[in-house]
Amino acid sequence: MATGNVEKNGKITIPHTFVIISTFIIIATILTWIVPAGTFQRVFDEATGRTLVVAGTFEFVQATPVTLTQMVMSIFDGMVDAANIVFFTFFSYGFMVMLIKVGAFDSGVGALIRTLKGKDYIVMPVLAVLFSLMGASFGIYEESYGFVPIVMSMAVALGYDPFYGAIVVLGGISTGYASAAINPYTVAIAQTIGELPLFSGMAYRGVCYLCFITVFLICLQRYGNKVKKDPSKSYVYGIDFPNISTSSQEELLAKEFTVQHKISLLICLFTVIAFAFGAIKYGWYFSELSAIFIVMMFVIGLINGKSINQICEDFVEISKNILIAAFVIGLSRAILIVLQKGQVIDTICYYFSNSLSGLPKIVAVEAMLVFQTLLNLFIPSGSGQAVTSMPLMIPLADLLGINRQIAVLAFQFGDGFSNIFWPTACAVLCAISGVPINKWWRFFAPFFFITESVAAVLVAVAVLINYGPF
């Protein structure tokens, strides 16, 4: 996995991802000394099953600035707090990469190429749409991490680069998550807080999804076509990705698609279906999904003739290659830990919400979008941002004569797309894919600003058409 340690471009040195995130930890610590501490009262809400902010209850409290010692300790606290995501990443990667280790992935892709007979160019865009629908309908996000090495390998096999495969999964999931019509972790929570009918306004959000997925597919194909035409134009040219298959298309076509390989891929399909069904029907989360991946990793290894010891050795090798990703996930969480200890998040929300009072409707809605985008720098969690900001945005929308549905839309766009841009969120995606953050931004920074522009137009249109009426 590429670490992005140091890259020299002329006289410019690109800092390691750890350095970038640590810089934000330091900035967060400084904020706790500058921004006054304050809190809103919170109550447990039966409808959402979450603890919500109570609007109008903000009060300044005694300052609790984070000391140097506490700042360093927050790194450990962040690692502990993010342990569920960290270990889920290990187990999901172990399951998926095992398909590569036993040869099932390579032979399966070879069989797919033979079947499509020159029409393999449709595979990756179709996958991108499927991942976007997973994010849009099921609210899947972190759960997609295990698919990354598989799709990156597929991209290489089809003549693209590994980054193209990462864009398909992580860009597709992010686009769907941000523009969803029925996302249970953003739309449902925000609408419940706003006392709106669940998933109301779906038609317009469906139109928004079509706009965003179209933009994404255009950007995806422009990059893919450029790389396929000239591999040296790849943003990750010369970077090593040890957890993916690098077999050429000719090598894949020559591989035999054995019965064991077919059974392995069917097991993979069954696992994905069980994973989606359990998450939707029974609310399975990281512990249940990790259990499935652990069991199926061993089943696939055994079917393909590996011993228990060999499977364990393979898992250790796979885990070594994503150790950086695990540290990045925990290190990123330390930023939130620092801000919570300093009690400044509520103060930031209070100042921002007050600054919107008295603005014209369209200007206020655009300001809401900007506020939600900036807030995601500090709270890179859709549900966490919803329960913090929506109890403030809903009464503010009422005061300004803006439909509550539009406030939900501004939250949804501001939260979702900034996950691919702010280093507090995208550093995790970079670590999972092995793409250095400066290379990541070469594609996703322009894409982020395009989507923000489209989002600004769509929320303005929502005001003009009186989107709601709720």
Alpha carbon of residue 139 to chain centroid: 10
Task: Note the maximum CA span of the chain.
Answer: 70
Are 389 and 408 contacting, i.e. CB atoms less than 8 angstroms apart? no
Question: Is the pTM here over 0.95, yes or no?
Answer: no
What percent of the chain is modeled with pLDDT above 90? 38
- Across the range 128-157, mean pLDDT stands at 85
- Rounded to 5 degrees, what are φ and ψ at 12? -95, 130
DSSP tally for the chain: helices H, then strands E: 21, 6
pLDDT at 13: 65
Q: How many CB atoms lie within 10 A of CB 344?
A: 26
The three-state secondary structure class of 37 is coil
d(CA 160, CA 224): 6
pLDDT in tens, 382-424: 777 887 788 888 888 887 888 889 999 999 999 888 989 988 8
β-pair partners for 211: none
Distance (Å, whole) CA 24 – CA 21: 5
Judged by DSSP in three states, 357 sits in coil
Task: Give 294-341 pLDDT, tens digit per residue.
Answer: 999 999 999 999 999 999 999 998 888 888 888 888 888 888 899 889
- Quickly state the pLDDT bin for 8 (edges 50, 70, 90): very low
**Which pLDDT score, from 0 to 100, does residue 470 have?**
62
Instruction: Dig out the tokens for 208 from the structure.
Output: 């928004």
* Contact by Cβ (8 Å): 177, 189: no
pLDDT value for 12? 56
DSSP secondary structure code for residue 145 in this structure: G
Residue 235 CB neighbours (<10 A): 20
Least confident of 192-196, 210-214, 272-276: 272-276
| Confidence category of residue 283, pLDDT binned at 50, 70, 90 | confident
pLDDT (0 to 100) of residue 469: 65
Write down the pLDDT at residue 7: 46
DSSP assignment of 63-113: --PPPHHHHHHHHHHHHHHTHHHHHHHHHHHHHHHHHHHTTHHHHHHHHHH
Residue 2 lies in a domain: no
The answer as to whether 469 is a domain residue is no
Helix, strand, coil percentages for the chain (3-state, nearest 5): 70, 5, 25
Domain membership of residue 316 (yes or no) is yes
- The CA-CA-CA angle for residues 285, 209, 160, to 5°, reads 80
Q: What's the confidence (pLDDT) of residue 3?
A: 47
Rounded Cα gap, residues 77 and 380, in angstroms: 17
Domain containing 365 equals 7-464
Number of independent structural domains in the chain: 1
For residue 60, give the DSSP letter.
E
Within-domain flag for 1: no
pLDDT digits (tens, 9 = 90+) for 54-73: 878 889 999 999 999 999 99
Query: CA–CA separation, 171 vs 127, rounded Å?
Result: 11
Q: CA 85, CA 102: separation in Å to the nearest integer?
A: 26
Is residue 413 a part of any domain in this protein? yes
pLDDT of residue 301: 94
Q: Give Cα 424 distance to the centre of its chain.
A: 11
Indicate if the pLDDT at residue 210 is higher than 90. Answer: yes
- Tokens, residue 96: 């998926």
Q: With respect to residue 300, please indicate whether it lies within any of the assigned structural domains.
A: yes
